[in-house]
Amino acid sequence: MSDVTMTNQTQAQKLDSVAARKARIMGGILIALALLVIFVLHVVPGESATFRLTTRRDAIQIPDLVVPGAFNYVAAALLAFLGVRQFLQGGARWTSLSLGVGLAILVMAFLVWATAGKAFNLTSMLQAAVLASVPIALGGLAGVMSERVAVVNIAIEGMLLAGAFAGALIGSLLGGWIGLVAAILVGGSFGLLLAVLVVTFRMDQIIAGVVINLFVLGVTSYVSSQVFSEYRFLNNAKVFRQWEIPFLSDIPVLGPMLFDQNLFVYGAFILVGIATYYLFYTKNGLRARAVGEHPRAADTLGVDVYVTRYVHVTIAGMVAGFGGAFFTLGNVGRFEENMTNGRGYIGLAAMIFGRWHPVGALSAALIFGFADSIQRKLALLNTPIPSEFLAMAPYIATIIVVAGLVGRSRPPAADGKPYVKE
């Protein structure tokens, strides 16, 4: 008996020391960021950055936001304060918050430094950020749907690519709406395939996902080099245009961001809402989560574990297929080899960051989309930073997020384990 309490105590101490060490590391990182802002993101005194918030065509005009270069000294001081506080106190409870606030300050300082002496349209960047986050959010949502029933879904990347491909092909032949339906169905069929492989044939879930990704990449690349290169009309779909929502789209900054976008943006927000309601406020959602946490208990209570997993993984595939169609029907109208380029994996990271919750995944996706659009827009501003390093930013952000927060978010208990009915 005393042995057990002893181990519990030592374990608790160990956990404490791990948390404290992590907090100190984060403090060190914040102090390093403060130094970075002072020495690297140094703005020539007297110069200021101009951020445009409205364009001349907008109904409501608001003046430009002019930030003096001295802002960066304030930013560095704030970062240093957060870092020192974190380092000395090691307050585990505030670690994530400090890191989040610190990164936000860093981004602001960076923008001021990059735009110093120039003008920059902030609203159009935010609009692009929302657009860039759509496939990541839908990929993350697909991850939530399948991991909540304990199926690890590495295949999101392949499902996105398959959706993009089907959208382009069918969209070119039969029009955008049928192309969209085809993308959803093709994504769903890959979800079904994943379910067959991992639920019925109990294949290793990660291997099954990787295989689906390789297979989809192979098929789509093969068809696009074998067929599309010869018959170009098969790969020339009409793009869904932006739908302006009256009145709401006239709100400065928020209007263009949220209410002057295309079908996929609205679709992503609506799907996240539906998924949240379904998973956390309905009977079937509760059953699905039970299957993810403790399949044996769910089975005992009469929930069919296999059917639940089949249904949810297939739905996850459909969501990812819809997200994939964004690449072709919502963006360029043309399929290119491997055009998803790792977005599915970033979606997975968004799911982890978002703690396996649809709204969390969407918020994380918005952050990734922001990083992505910053690097695109900054390439136009002629900063001294090479474009390759800007392009790395979202990937580095993903690693930091996965490393920094994974301990604080918990996957469904049975995640990744096949279930064998007794």
Partner 1 sequence: MSEHKDLKSVNEKMRSLMARTTHGRDDFEDLVIVPLFAVVVALVFGALIMLATAVDIPTIGRSFVALAVGSVGSLSAWSETLTAAVPLVLAGLGLGLGFRAGLFNIGAEGQLLMGGLAAVIAGFSLDFLPMVIHLPLTLLIGAAVGAGYAAIAGILKATTGAHEVISTIMLNLISFELLNWLLRQPWIQREGRSDPISKSVPDSARLPQLLDWISPNFRLHAGVFVMLLAVAFIWWLLFRSKVGFAFRTSGENPSAANYAGMKASLVIVLAMATAGALAGLAGAAQITGVLGRASPGFSAGIGFDAIAVALLGRSHPVGILFAGILFGGLEAGGRQMQVDAGVSIDLIGIIQALIIVFIAAPLLVRAIFPWGFRRSSKKEDAA
Among 174, 248, 399, 413, binds partner 1 (CB under 8 A): 399
| Contacting range for partner 1; rule: CB under 8 A; set: 34-42, 294-302, 305-313, 402-410 | 402-410
CB of 395 to partner 1, least distance (A): 4
What residues contact residue 152 under an 8 Å CB cut-off, 6+ apart?
Answer: 146, 205, 206, 209, 415, 416
Q: What angle do CA 321, 322, 323 make, to 5 degrees?
A: 90
CB of 164 to partner 1, least distance (A): 16
Distance CA 19, CA 29 (A): 15
| Contacting range for partner 1; rule: CB under 8 A; set: 101-109, 261-269, 319-327, 347-355 | 347-355
Q: How many residues bind partner 1 (CB under 8 A)?
A: 42
CB of 88 to partner 1, least distance (A): 22
CB of 220 to partner 1, least distance (A): 9
| Contacting range for partner 1; rule: CB under 8 A; set: 50-58, 110-118, 167-175, 213-221 | 213-221
Q: Which 8-state DSSP code applies to residue 197? A: I
Instruction: Using the CB atoms, write b or e for 138-166: b if 16+ within 10 Å.
Output: bbbbbbbbbbbbbbbbbbbbbbbbbbbbb
Residue with tokens 């692009």: 128
Nearer to partner 1 by Cβ, of 88 and 392: the residue is: 392
Q: Is 197 in the site for partner 1 (CB under 8 A)?
A: yes
Q: Is 214 in the site for partner 1 (CB under 8 A)?
A: yes
Distance CA 149, CA 413 (A): 10
Q: Is 349 in the site for partner 1 (CB under 8 A)?
A: yes
DSSP string, 95-125: HHHHHHHHHHHHHHHHHHHHHBTSEEEHHHH
Q: Is 7 in the site for partner 1 (CB under 8 A)?
A: no
Token pair recorded at residue 366: 């918005």
| Contacting range for partner 1; rule: CB under 8 A; set: 266-274, 283-291, 302-310, 395-403 | 395-403
Q: Which amino acid is at 422?
A: E
Residue with tokens 């291997």: 207
Q: Is 420 in the site for partner 1 (CB under 8 A)?
A: no
Q: Which helix (H) or strand (E) holds 48?
A: strand 48-52
What residues contact residue 172 under an 8 Å CB cut-off, 6+ apart?
Answer: 179, 233, 234, 235, 236, 237
Judge whether 129 and 261 are in contact, CB under 8 Å.
Answer: no
Among 352, 364, 365, 378, binds partner 1 (CB under 8 A): 352
Ramachandran angles phi, psi of 244, nearest 5°: -85, 125
Q: Is 233 in the site for partner 1 (CB under 8 A)?
A: no
Distance CA 374, CA 126 (A): 9
Report the relative pairing of strands 48-52 and 119-121 from DSSP bridges. parallel
CB of 255 to partner 1, least distance (A): 34
Nearer to partner 1 by Cβ, of 291 and 393: the residue is: 393
Judge whether 108 and 75 are in contact, CB under 8 Å.
Answer: yes
Pattern of binders to partner 1 over 143-162, x per CB under 8 A?
Answer: -----------x--------
CB of 106 to partner 1, least distance (A): 19
Among 55, 218, 273, 413, binds partner 1 (CB under 8 A): 218
Q: Is 389 in the site for partner 1 (CB under 8 A)?
A: yes
Among 16, 402, 410, 417, binds partner 1 (CB under 8 A): 402
CB of 415 to partner 1, least distance (A): 11
By CB under 8 A, name the binding residues for partner 1.
22, 154, 197, 201-204, 206-208, 210-211, 214-215, 217-219, 221-223, 225-227, 342, 345, 348-349, 352, 386, 388-389, 391-392, 395-396, 398-399, 402-404, 406-407
